[in-house]
Structure 1
Amino acid sequence: MPSTSDVRPAWVFDESPIADPDGRGQRAVDFLRLLRHPKSRLPRQQFQLDPPFERIVRRIYGPTDDRGQRQVRTVYLQVGRGSRKTSLAAGLALLHTFGPERIPRGENLIAASDRKQARIGFEEATSIVETTPQLAAAARVIDSRNRFLHPKSGSRFEAISCDAPSQHGRTPSLVIVDELHAHRKADLWQALRTGAAKTSGSLIIIATTAGRGNESPDYPLLEYAKQVQAGEIEDETFLPIIFEAPADADWQDEALWHRLLPGLEYGYPDLPSLRQLAREARERPSDRAAFCQYYLGIRQQNSLSPFIDMAIFDAGKRDIDIDQLAHLPCWIGLDSSSTTDLTAVVAVFADGADLYVKTWAFIPADAVAKRSDRDKVPYIDWSRDEWVIATDGNVIDYAAVAAHIEDLCQRFDVQEIVADAAYAMPILQPLMEAGRPVLTMRQGWFTQSPALSTLERAIISGRLYWDSPALRWCVENVAIHTDSAGNRVMHKGRSRDRIDLAVALWMAVSRASQGAAVSVLDDADFDPARFVVTI
């Protein structure tokens, strides 16, 4: 099992000294301890600021630069769900609105992904104000605007969302960005970070759980935070606080949970509830992905609703010699593409209940380098190893794909060639004319849902064997949509994902599971012009 020694910032727990030359960190802690929280179980409902979070507060506010100003200007805090980020964010917002970090007419904001989430942040802060007598007497709450004021200084707090009208023109002194990974666009984030740059001594705090993929607004900031945390970039104004398990960590290890969730030893999140979630996640891949993302900080590169646990799929990896499969019946799945995307050919050989899979992905040779950069996969290496076949030119050579399938038909006992009709006719036509057993399969839940169940059973039972890294990549990219009737269809988890080989796989496995079909070539009246059978 990988080491868990570096899954959290050591300074949060090691009791090492934190500079506080002006006592600013101590004043921040003292203010937070004066607050009351309606759900607190401490005496007099005292705001719960446990040691790890106290050290985080001290580290944000204590150190100063050579001008005597607060050194930290941006904080990136990634920690698991249930760690009371919302309460901490509300407390810090009050510190800047009513406490020692208050400035005259200061604008302090919590920026959420939508109005509902913004309302949660506002209500959290308001509940603290109403429970703390000193603040209740000093605050003017404007509930309809998610805002309250400190009339004496003109300082104000507001919870806003990225689905609200444009926020350009603001000059905030404090910005707390809630769950940046969930923001649909970077517009609000960019407006607020540039607005904060206009205010002397401004502070930006990103408080988030782990996100998904590399296209959400949080990803560039996370990459920068990791480089600062690793010492690759020197930036004393940027404070990264990242709790993140390795991707291959034992997600069921409770010792790992305690290292990654700093509040767990203090009762949050609830350990029995966490154990129940883990028990359920053992059986459902989508729940497991969510558990790893939201509690262990493992950024998911595929969909939140994955088709299969990749550890189970990986158990089927084998070195497969296709020539040794010549005695077995074969079904070929074809997922054709437009002019430049991947075209997928998958051959499934059935040995009783065992299915052996060989795959080929076709891509224009002129696009290999560009697609490698875009899709972030080694097409060049895969092309060298023949997992990917680069056809001449800058568009897919359909004739080369047809020739490849024809070669498979001549070498093996091909029962059927099944394809999605979209874009496939330039490939299917010469195969039809050669008398090959071609079928087209309509795409939709009525064909795909039962086929996915068949494929899923083959994988989970350990009956599906494969050897292509390109196939694995496509399967990992699959997202599953389930309708109200329980029907499932696959789609791409992100716009840049490729699932073409997975689509061809389910079609071929679906037909192979139904056994050998009666070949129309046995029909004396066979006519290639009417040969395509649609199912």
Structure 2
Amino acid sequence: MPIVIKKKRKNPFPDIPDSFGYGQRAVDYLRRLKHPKSRLPNQAFQLDPWQEEIVRRIYGPCDEAGNRIVRNVVIMLPRGNRKTSLGAALSLLHTDGPEAVPGGEVIFAAADQKQAKIGFREVEGIVSAGDFLWRKGQASRRYDAGHHVKLQEYKNRITFPNGCFLEALSNDAGTQHGRTPVFALIDEIHAWQKRDLWDVIRTGLVKVPGSLSIVITTAGRGQENIAFDVIDYARKVARGEIEDPATLPVLYETPRDADWQSEDVWKAANPGLAYGYPDIHGLRQLAREAAQRPAERDAFRQLHLNIWLDHSSTPFVDMATYDEGAQPVYLEELAGEPCWLGVDLSSNSDLTVIVAAWRTGEDGYTVHPWFFCPRDNLHRKADRDGVPYPLWAEQGFIEPTPGNVVDFRAVEDTIRDLCQRFDIREIAFDPHLARNMMNTLREDGYPAVEMRQGWVTMAPAIKELERAIVAGRFQHGGHPVLRWNFDNIAVEIDKAGNKAFHKGKSKDRIDGAVAAAMAVARAAAGEGQGPSIFDDPDITAADLVW
């Protein structure tokens, strides 16, 4: 019988270090897998060149002792580029393959149980397509005498003969403390509403030498979430702003101003298109519909081009333009300048906010907010709204007041203090919930006025605010809570072209943006010149209703 010598596969990426051959070993293992939907001969797992490069960059580079350098991988891919299949294959690499540690814990984590189940089913499908035999709710594979793979459906767990197990977890299933994973696949982190499971996984990974975490996600919305933090860190590593060889960024994303209808742009963002996925005809149909429907356009840009969007699908202003005003605001330098306050008092669930506005330069404004929220259930409110209230409170961006509703006395004390520190010309209140505070302040001689929230008063205010932001004359210091409020705005336009603010979703907060519009409008009307109207003895309280 002739001896057949197999030709060693040539490494197509010689620039990627692989001194110990671990990158090649990983690629060889993945190519031995099968996939139930594969159209390759014998249902071979399809590992295309762009995927192979990722695998080699993860497992090839090692230090002199042979320890893998990469410990954190952030992969951002548009929908339809087989993220889940790649993640499932890598999970098997650490349970059944050469990267397995006997008894090791491998986690497949997702936002909710449904998404976690999708990943788990993908692993199950790859196992089923291989030389794994299933019987009576279990799978068995002929490793050696009597050893088999066990599937525990009710636990979303697969256990291998070496003691390794793969388990699917969801971020909505409560705490998972005590985990010690050697490998964690974090799926679609853009959909994670809270960071509990993320923190458990990250702190668990450091318990084990050589552990690895891989985030695979599409683009998300907004900046006040764990996904943006993770992606933004990876961007800084990719740009060289942060030196972190342990983090590998693989970011297929599209610039916000790119021509979203260009198929060349589609190909740049979707590496799988060159190999038949996602379906180009399907993308063309979605693009045709999106050209006529703005909401569909945003979904296309986010999910198929990986453009990180703002929260609102009908934004007030482009947040990149808003961010141009993030230069620091130095309050001590504004002490002698005319100042106007906008105050929006809250119901139980909303934020209460005071926004101060100063006129600067030519038709420009500088603003600074003071936010208040109830101290009780701060973490529960953070989970509900999907933003880090406790962290903002710790950093001084929000003042928690005792109890489960905002203490208006603390708000009034702050207003009085601001009147001592700055040259306050007017304090404009949304009169809803504010009657008592306004009357108290007026009795003590403070310039409290009403600013009703209808079209007549707010449409000009919103127009002036928009003009200042678009013109690059709105300085806000990058306050994160105020930015979140602006990012949440959905705009409603009447037949006359007047704009009104609305929440993008019922849980969104826009109070800071409303108060900013009020303060800017009063600053625009006051023009910052001459004495305050409250210095005129002929002005009465009745005259102060605007």
Pairwise TM-score range, normalised by the shorter structure: 0.5 to 0.7
Aligned AA (2:201): L
Correspondence 1:146 to 2:188: no
SS in 2 for 1:82: coil
Partner residue in 1 for 2:308 = 299
8 Å contact from structure 2 (residues 451, 518) kept in 1: no
The counterpart of 1:341, out of the listed 342, 353, 356, is 353
SS in 2 for 1:91: helix
| Equivalent residue runs for 1:176-191 within 5 Å | 176-191=185-200
8 Å contact from structure 1 (residues 335, 420) kept in 2: no
The structural deviation recorded for 1:223 is: 3.3
8 Å contact from structure 2 (residues 109, 169) kept in 1: yes
| Equivalent residue runs for 1:332-481 within 5 Å | 336-337=344-345, 341-343=353-355, 395=417, 397=419, 403=425, 419-423=430-434, 469=474, 477-480=487-490
| Equivalent residue runs for 1:60-459 within 5 Å | 60-134=58-132, 137-138=140-141, 139-150=149-160, 152-300=161-309, 302-307=310-315, 310=318, 336-337=344-345, 341-343=353-355, 395=417, 397=419, 403=425, 419-423=430-434
**Change in CA separation of 1:401 and 1:52 when aligned onto 2, cut-off 3 Å:** same
**Change in CA separation of 1:480 and 1:203 when aligned onto 2, cut-off 3 Å:** same
TM-score (norm 1): 0.64
**Change in CA separation of 1:343 and 1:281 when aligned onto 2, cut-off 3 Å:** farther
Please list the CA deviations of residues 151-175 of structure 1 after superposition, one character each: whole Å capped at 9, or x if unmatched: x211211111122242221221111
8 Å contact from structure 2 (residues 182, 212) kept in 1: yes
Cα distance in 2 for partners of 1:529, 1:241 equals 63
**Change in CA separation of 1:269 and 1:401 when aligned onto 2, cut-off 3 Å:** farther
**Change in CA separation of 1:422 and 1:148 when aligned onto 2, cut-off 3 Å:** same
8 Å contact from structure 1 (residues 310, 476) kept in 2: no
Cα distance in 1 for partners of 2:439, 2:288 equals 47
Structure 2: segments with no counterpart, 5+ residues? 1-11, 135-139, 142-148, 323-340, 358-362, 371-391, 399-413, 443-448, 477-481, 493-499, 523-539
Cα distance in 2 for partners of 1:479, 1:363 equals 17
Cα distance in 2 for partners of 1:61, 1:190 equals 24
Cα distance in 1 for partners of 2:301, 2:431 equals 35
The structural deviation recorded for 1:427 is: 6.2
Cα distance in 2 for partners of 1:307, 1:224 equals 25
The counterpart of 1:490, out of the listed 478, 498, 503, is 503
Aligned AA (2:181): P
Please list the CA deviations of residues 313-353 of structure 1 after superposition, one character each: whole Å capped at 9, or x if unmatched: 99xxxxxxxxxxxxxxxxxx9764589834489xxxxxxxx
SS in 1 for 2:266: helix
Aligned AA (1:180): I
8 Å contact from structure 1 (residues 334, 420) kept in 2: no
Cα distance in 2 for partners of 1:29, 1:155 equals 20
Please list the CA deviations of residues 261-309 of structure 1 after superposition, one character each: whole Å capped at 9, or x if unmatched: 1112222222232233334434444443333333333323x31433457
**Change in CA separation of 1:362 and 1:241 when aligned onto 2, cut-off 3 Å:** closer
8 Å contact from structure 2 (residues 503, 510) kept in 1: no
**Change in CA separation of 1:240 and 1:360 when aligned onto 2, cut-off 3 Å:** closer
Cα distance in 1 for partners of 2:171, 2:484 equals 32
Please list the CA deviations of residues 57-77 of structure 1 after superposition, one character each: whole Å capped at 9, or x if unmatched: 111112221111222221111
Partner residue in 2 for 1:56 = 54
Partner residue in 2 for 1:522 = none
Q: Percent identity?
A: 39
Cα distance in 2 for partners of 1:204, 1:260 equals 23
Please list the CA deviations of residues 228-264 of structure 1 after superposition, one character each: whole Å capped at 9, or x if unmatched: 2223333322211122223333333321221121112
The structural deviation recorded for 1:146 is: 0.8
**Change in CA separation of 1:360 and 1:424 when aligned onto 2, cut-off 3 Å:** farther
Aligned AA (1:260): A
Cα distance in 2 for partners of 1:401, 1:422 equals 25
Partner residue in 2 for 1:18 = 16
TM-score (norm 2): 0.63
| Equivalent residue runs for 1:516-527 within 5 Å | none
SS in 2 for 1:60: helix
The structural deviation recorded for 1:93 is: 0.9
**Change in CA separation of 1:440 and 1:19 when aligned onto 2, cut-off 3 Å:** closer
Please list the CA deviations of residues 390-432 of structure 1 after superposition, one character each: whole Å capped at 9, or x if unmatched: xx9775559x999559xxxxxxxxxxx995534377669999x
The counterpart of 2:514, out of the listed 477, 500, 518, is 500
Partner residue in 1 for 2:29 = 31
8 Å contact from structure 1 (residues 72, 237) kept in 2: yes
Cα distance in 2 for partners of 1:503, 1:165 equals 40
Structure 1: segments with no counterpart, 5+ residues? 1-13, 315-332, 346-356, 365-369, 377-391, 406-416, 432-437, 509-526
SS in 1 for 2:305: coil
Cα distance in 1 for partners of 2:109, 2:431 equals 45
8 Å contact from structure 2 (residues 489, 501) kept in 1: no
SS in 2 for 1:498: helix
Q: Number of residue pairs matched? A: 433
Cα distance in 1 for partners of 2:253, 2:111 equals 22
The structural deviation recorded for 1:112 is: 0.9
The structural deviation recorded for 1:530 is: 12
**Change in CA separation of 1:474 and 1:88 when aligned onto 2, cut-off 3 Å:** closer
Cα distance in 1 for partners of 2:290, 2:193 equals 27
The structural deviation recorded for 1:90 is: 0.6
SS in 1 for 2:75: strand
The structural deviation recorded for 1:126 is: 0.7
8 Å contact from structure 1 (residues 343, 363) kept in 2: yes
Cα distance in 2 for partners of 1:396, 1:491 equals 32
SS in 1 for 2:300: helix
Aligned AA (1:498): G
8 Å contact from structure 2 (residues 343, 353) kept in 1: no
Cα distance in 2 for partners of 1:286, 1:375 equals 32
**Change in CA separation of 1:396 and 1:64 when aligned onto 2, cut-off 3 Å:** same
Cα distance in 1 for partners of 2:543, 2:236 equals 61
SS in 1 for 2:287: helix
SS in 2 for 1:499: helix
Aligned AA (1:34): R
Partner residue in 1 for 2:334 = none
**Change in CA separation of 1:528 and 1:186 when aligned onto 2, cut-off 3 Å:** closer
8 Å contact from structure 1 (residues 359, 501) kept in 2: no
Give me the CA root mean square deviation.
5.1
8 Å contact from structure 1 (residues 402, 427) kept in 2: no
**Change in CA separation of 1:232 and 1:529 when aligned onto 2, cut-off 3 Å:** closer
Cα distance in 2 for partners of 1:180, 1:58 equals 23
